[in-house]
């Protein structure tokens, strides 16, 4: 089975100068996804792929590292901290927190190659390319649904 059979062809694109406030709206109401939104946005300058920004990137920007290291402190400080931190970063630009070294995959690659990227690099979204052009995005959740469907004995 090939990546093109599982990838999403409706995907959201933002520019590197997009604010995190604008990106948050796109995460929540992304193309081709359900109520939960999209886990990543592709960052393009014109036709050129320059990055990817994920929910994980945004959470890392919002939550101070000391909170993540101490679960007791995180529990006590969560109330109010989240709102204050969101207010603090909402005007930052996507370029400030996006991943610039983007892992991509060709649309005709086999799904095993995509699985290897997901597992070895600990990522959840991979832009799909045809030559230099981005033609889709593959989410770990889409691959997992396909694999689990096969495990259940269902159709691909």
Secondary structure of the chain in the HEC alphabet? CEHHHCCECCCCEECCCCEHHHHHHHHHCCCCCCCCCCCEEEEEECCEEEEEEEHHHHHHHHCCHHHHHCHHHHHHHHHHHHHHHHHHHCCCEHHHHCECCCCCEECCCEHHHHHHHHHHHCCCEEEEEECCEEEEEEEHHHHHHHHHHHHCCCCC
Report yes or no on 54 lying in a domain. yes
Report yes or no on 12 lying in a domain. yes
Report yes or no on 79 lying in a domain. yes
Place of tokens 């994920």: 54
Question: What whole-number distance in Å separates Cα of residue 63 and Cα of residue 130?
Answer: 36
State the pLDDT at residue 72. Answer: 67
Question: What whole-number distance in Å separates Cα of residue 21 and Cα of residue 27?
Answer: 10
- Total number of domains in the chain: 1
Report yes or no on 25 lying in a domain. yes
pTM: 0.84
State the pLDDT at residue 49. Answer: 97
What is the residue range of 60's domain? 3-151
Among residues 15, 33, 43, the alpha carbon closest in space to that of 99 is found at: 43
Rounded to 5 degrees, what angle do the CA atoms 31, 32, 38 make? 65
Report yes or no on 156 lying in a domain. no
Q: Residue 90 is part of a domain; what is its CATH number?
A: 3.10.580.10
Report yes or no on 112 lying in a domain. yes
State the pLDDT at residue 155. Answer: 56
State the pLDDT at residue 48. Answer: 96
Report yes or no on 67 lying in a domain. yes
Going residue by residue through the chain (156 aa), what tens digit of pLDDT does each one get? 899 999 999 999 999 999 999 998 888 876 655 555 788 999 999 999 999 999 889 888 887 776 667 766 656 556 677 777 778 888 999 999 999 999 999 999 999 999 999 999 999 999 999 999 999 999 998 898 888 776 767 655
Q: Regarding beta strands 48-54 and 40-45, do their DSSP bridges make them parallel or antiparallel, or are they unpaired?
A: antiparallel
Report yes or no on 113 lying in a domain. yes
């Amino acid at each position: 089975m090939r990546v093109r059979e599982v990838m999403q062809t409706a995907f959201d694109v933002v520019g590197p100068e997009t604010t995190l406030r604008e990106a948050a709206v796109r995460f929540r109401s992304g193309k081709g996804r359900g109520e939960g939104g999209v886990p990543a946005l592709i960052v393009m300058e014109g036709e050129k792929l320059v990055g990817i920004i994920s929910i994980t990137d945004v959470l890392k920007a919002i939550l101070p590292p000391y909170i993540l290291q101490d679960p007791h402190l995180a529990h006590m400080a969560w109330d109010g901290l989240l709102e204050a931190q969101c207010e603090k970063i909402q005007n930052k630009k996507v370029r400030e927190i996006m991943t610039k070294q983007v892992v991509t995959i060709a649309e005709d690659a086999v799904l095993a190659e995509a699985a290897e990227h997901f597992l070895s690099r600990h990522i959840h979204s991979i832009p799909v390319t045809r030559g230099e052009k981005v033609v889709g995005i593959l989410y770990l959740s889409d691959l997992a649904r396909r694999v689990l469907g096969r495990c259940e004995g269902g159709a691909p």
